[in-house]
Amino acid sequence: MPRRDAQVHKMLSRLMRNAGRSTPPIWYPAMLAYPPTLPPPLKPQHEKRRAYDLPPDVRPSHLLDKRPLDIVYPEDQLRQQFFKDHPFEAFRAKSLVEMQEVREEPLTGPMWDKLVQRGRNPSPEDCIAFALNLHREKGIPLSDAYRTAVHQYRALRAEHTIMLSFACNEADAYGAEFASYELTRLEKLEEAELQKWREELARTEERIRRSKKWRMDPVLPPEKWTQGEGYMRRLREGGGPRTWQELDLDLAGGLEVSTTQVDSMDTWKVDARKSRQEVDELNGPLRPAPRDPHAPSF
């Protein structure tokens, strides 16, 4: 912003004094009460080069940095270093709602020489303010002041953590019940809603299972490998693999085929063969059942 904008009221004062104008504009009292701010100072030019040291098409005015000075506070540097060393401190819950007027801490200046003077549970801002107070009031270098403040902060935080854990254990021993937080209540409500979904899904699956006449129940393999003992025992007893004729007889006699003896694909195969036999009985004489080539000879 050029400086002439900040000198409007001064120029008007000179005009009124020299021209004899007695009635000022309406905005004149307000501008006198709240004059425009001066433009911020420019960055210092550490390196000044003369014209003879520059190319012919470059002038010294071209090298001026017209940007204003950066607004830097020492608290920002301390805060950045603190959260770089303690990133977990940024995840601590902090209330942003103030129920009353926020006042400045009464303990400050030369009297504040220990961090514990503001409490046994300091916050990161207390540690940063303590380091800055040591730097300004005690004349300690900023790095040494930060190191001292961090050491005291860590000791107080460790002491508070131990005291809190012992207090919680003592309260549990006496049967105290702590109030649940908002996140805990939301977690319980979510779990109750998920349980409703699981129960509804189980009821739906049960209703579908009962409504089906034929269903495919997969036969799981035995947990332990029997090395074919069950198969050989059936052969020695004169049995062998179950044939389609045996399945047809079981269905004709009203016997229920066990799912442990027939795999999941046998149900629709038997149903298809039964349908073919019914068609054959209507269209022609029943053909003899073919001999099973896999039946044992003994």
* Cα distance between residue 74 and residue 128, in whole Å: 10
Average pLDDT over residues 144-165: 95
Is the Cα dihedral 280, 281, 287, 291 positive or negative?
positive
Give pLDDT tens digits for 46-63.
Answer: 555 565 666 766 665 666
Which of 44-48, 128-132, 232-236, 264-268 bottoms out in mean pLDDT, i.e. has the lowest?
264-268
Residue 224 · residue 234 · CB < 8 Å: no
Structure token pair of residue 43: 């960055």
What is the pTM assigned to this prediction? 0.44
Where are the alpha helices (H) located in the chain, listed in sequence order? 8-19, 28-33, 74-85, 124-137, 142-173, 182-211, 229-236, 244-252, 266-283
Average pLDDT over residues 97-121: 82
Which of 16-20, 96-100, 197-201, 204-208 bottoms out in mean pLDDT, i.e. has the lowest?
96-100
Mention every residue, 6+ apart, whose C-beta is less than 8 A from residue 78.
128, 131, 132, 142, 146
pLDDT at 128: 94
CA distances from 204 to 188, 195, 199, 200, 258 (A): 25, 14, 9, 6, 25
Closest CA to 235 of 148, 143, 298: 298
Higher-confidence residue: 190 or 273? 190
Count Cα neighbours of 42 within 13 Å in the Cβ-side half-sphere.
11
Structure token pair of residue 40: 């911020």
pLDDT at 80: 93
Which of 109-113, 134-138, 152-156, 225-229 bottoms out in mean pLDDT, i.e. has the lowest?
225-229
Give pLDDT tens digits for 155-201.
Answer: 999 999 999 999 989 998 998 887 778 888 899 999 999 999 999 99
Q: How confident is the model at residue 258 (pLDDT cuts 50, 70, 90)?
A: very low
Higher-confidence residue: 254 or 188? 188
Residue 257 has pLDDT above 70, yes or no: no
Q: Is 100 helix (H, G, I), strand (E, B) or coil?
A: coil
